[in-house]
Amino acid sequence: MLTPGLLPVDAASPVPLYHQLAERIRTAVQSGSFQEGSIIGPELRLAKDFHVSLNTVRRAMEILSSEGVLLRKPGLGTFVAGKVSSRAFRVVRHIEQRANQPAHSVVSVRETVPDRIVEERLRLTSGGRVWCMVRLEMISDRPTAIFEDYNFSEAGSHYPSSSYEDGTEAMLVYVQGKVSVASHEIKAVGANVGIAQALKVDAGAPLIVLERTVFDEIGNPVGFGRYSFLASHYEFEVTF
């Protein structure tokens, strides 16, 4: 049976419903609300309780089964396999560059009008303003990545935009204290003129771009990051 008190999924959130459902169940297992060996479902009951399609429930169950959180036994049902092991998503430098430690610098911290993608991810009305922090990563004195973090204006309302060090710390602390779940999207793109100039490469140079939207515990977005890496210097991995 479904444990009472689980947060409902948010149909208006950009986070896919099956990811939201998987997160709800994963959290319940981690907290002990679902005991090891207890049965989860049936799927039709979950679909009814969460007001989602049966396909959404099945995709959520597949995710949790692949993580080892749930154990599916044909003809018997789906059971809690145990508590969730930690899962980390990270960027690592390419193999030939790993001997060199990256250095970081803050290029700017300013209030600005966001582009369409940032508006959509943060659910802003047209003309809304956000704080944008831009950082540059260097390897052996060569710029190799540029990080753009966008947060609501109140995240930076207590410090001047010229105070890069204080501003950086304040923005990170403000957002990190609100984060419950994050949604990531990775894409391969060619560098636009602005990014190319910052990274000192030709326009169109291959980049790996990670877009990260972070949400609070009730599914509201609290921050968005766009991180552009030179494809020649980085690779991605998921660790368990």
**What pLDDT band is residue 5 in, cutting at 50, 70 and 90?**
low
Q: Give the Å distances, CA to CA, from 206 to 94, 107, 187, 188.
A: 14, 22, 11, 7
User: Rounded CA gap, 208 and 186, in Å?
Assistant: 7
Quote the pLDDT of residue 163.
42
Quote the pLDDT of residue 139.
84
**Which residues fall within 8 angstroms of residue 58, CB to CB, at 6 or more apart?**
43
Q: What are the DSSP E strand ranges found in 50-159?
A: 70-73, 77-80, 88-93, 103-112, 130-139, 142-152
Mean pLDDT of the chain: 76
Distance of CA 211 to the CA centre of its chain: 7
User: Rounded CA gap, 220 and 122, in Å?
Assistant: 8
Which pair of structure tokens corresponds to residue 173? 């602390």
Within a 10 A sphere around the Cβ of 217, how many other Cβ atoms? 11
Most confident option among 32-46, 81-95, 146-160: 32-46
Contact (CB, 8 A) for 116 and 125: no
H-state helical runs in 54-142: 54-67, 116-122
Quote the pLDDT of residue 86.
46
DSSP one-letter code for 158: T
Q: Model pTM?
A: 0.57
Classify each residue of 77-86 as buried b or exposed e, where b means 16 or more C-beta atoms within 10 Å of its C-beta: ebbbbeebee
Q: Position of tokens 């896919």?
A: 16
User: Rounded CA gap, 199 and 216, in Å?
Assistant: 33
Quote the pLDDT of residue 40.
81
**Which residues fall within 8 angstroms of residue 33, CB to CB, at 6 or more apart?**
3, 5, 6
| Residues 174-230: tens digit of each pLDDT | 455 555 567 778 888 999 999 999 999 999 999 989 888 887 766 678 889 999 999
Kindly report which listed range (80-94, 101-115, 116-130) carries the lowest average pLDDT score: 80-94
Q: Give the Å distances, CA to CA, from 46 to 12, 92, 130, 168.
A: 19, 38, 38, 42
Phi, psi for 65 (deg, rounded to 5): -70, -40
